[in-house]
Amino acid sequence: MKITFPHFGNMYIPIKILFDGLGIEYIIPPINNNQALEIGTLHSPEEICLPFKIMMGNYIQSIKEGADTIALIGSNGPCRFGEYCELQKNILKNLGYDLDIIVLESPKVIGKEEFKNRVYKIAEQSPKSTAEQWMAVAKTFLAISMIENIERKALFRCGYEINNGEHKSVLYECKGEVIKTNDPDQALKILKEYSRKMDHIPVDKNKKPITVALIGEIYTVIEPFSNLHIQDKLMDCGVSIKRGLSVDWWLKNAFLKSFQLNSIGLRNASREYLPYYIGGHGRECVGEALLANKNNLDGAIQLFPMGCMPEIVSKVILQSISRDKDFPILTLIIDEMTGEGGFSTRLEAFLDLLERRREYVLSGS
């Protein structure tokens, strides 16, 4: 078995740590780029959303490197993501690729036994003992928490930094170093070192940077290539970023959903405008916008791929929130035709608006 998986934010780092710990051969797709998008777009339905196309590019690039198995997370509910696996499986089959596709869906949906069978397909390829396998899983969850916390610190603290670009530089240096090692313990050690390094970057707590919330469809929010590297653009402008959606949040939310304990704060916050689930993370998007306003952030930026049904509903509701709460919200819809020039111009204009609002309030006018 040579297993591969689609990119999903920082997930490639803990997954690498997992397979290194299990002793299973794997192939990490190239970091998302134009080539992956071109390949995926060529072999995907024209009107399907951007994440689907990028994932198809990930698979085909990995297959050309020798991958014979794909592992991905499944879903259910009124979002097309739940049907990705079946459609992608059929496309790859029609392209002549003979693959084993392992979809890890919620035990509540497919049953505990079927879930165990799918996990066992992967676990049986490991030469490690059961105890070592469980240890590898534990290290993976620890790595997820650590890398996401490092990024969370960088995104928020960059607005307060004294030396421009230092948080961004350390964040990318961390990712580059941890991906080089095949030793899970060494990888965790590197993450700990960079967490401490991030904490020691000098900041000016008297600064009052523009602070924005990144909200919307989770893949587009956390996968840099799919959002035209909006986090980098904001960090370069000295903007402090709050981003609720992350890999560790997604895993925690999926686990607690079985007990109806997921996203309690966001559900409570969204109740005024959207008391029901509409699929994807549409309700969370509304809740995050309202919490951003409550916490006195300067604005919010909604990101989603063209055609994303839950986020289209959220977009309409966000317009009402923006009007009712006098809270600036920018919506950026992205597909493979989105031009970076126009995207950057809209972003710069929004930040300029936030700056002018800040000056207006401070002047007491």
Domains of the chain: 3-128 (3.40.50), 146-204 (no CATH), 209-363 (3.40.50.11900)
Among 112, 124, 97, 144, smallest CA distance to 24 is for 124
What does the pLDDT read at residue 7? 96
Residue of 72, 4, 71, 11 whose CA lies nearest to 222: 11
Longest Cα pair distance anywhere in the chain, in angstroms?
70
Is there a contact between 247 and 15 (Cβ–Cβ < 8 Å)? Answer: no
CA angle 207, 209, 212 (to 5 degrees): 150
Strand order in the sheet with 69-73: 3-4, 69-73, 100-104
Q: What is the pLDDT of residue 269?
A: 95
Assess contact for 50 and 169: CB atoms under 8 A: no
Tokens, residue 30: 């190239």
Residue 303 sits at φ, ψ, to 5 deg, of -120, 130
Q: What are phi and psi of 48, to 5 degrees?
A: -75, 160
Label the pairing between strands 211-216 and 240-243.
parallel
Task: Name 285's Cβ contacts closer than 8 Å, sequence gap at least 6.
Answer: 215, 216, 217, 302, 310, 311, 314, 318
The residue type found at 228 is: L
Q: Report the distance separating Cα 284 and Cα 287, nearest Å.
A: 5
In a 13 Å sphere around the CA of 320, the CA atoms on its Cβ side amount to 9
Mean pLDDT for each 10-residue chunk of the chain (365 residues)? 95 97 97 96 93 96 96 70 82 92 81 89 95 97 98 97 97 98 98 98 96 97 97 97 94 80 90 91 95 97 94 96 97 94 96 93 68
Residues in the chain: 365
> Which residues are CB-neighbours of 94 under 8 A, at least 6 positions away?
none
- Report the distance separating Cα 161 and Cα 253, nearest Å: 32
d(C-alpha 307, C-alpha 50), whole Å: 9
pLDDT for position 365: 56
Q: Is the CB of residue 210 less than 8 Å from the CB of residue 204? A: no
* DSSP state at residue 299: E
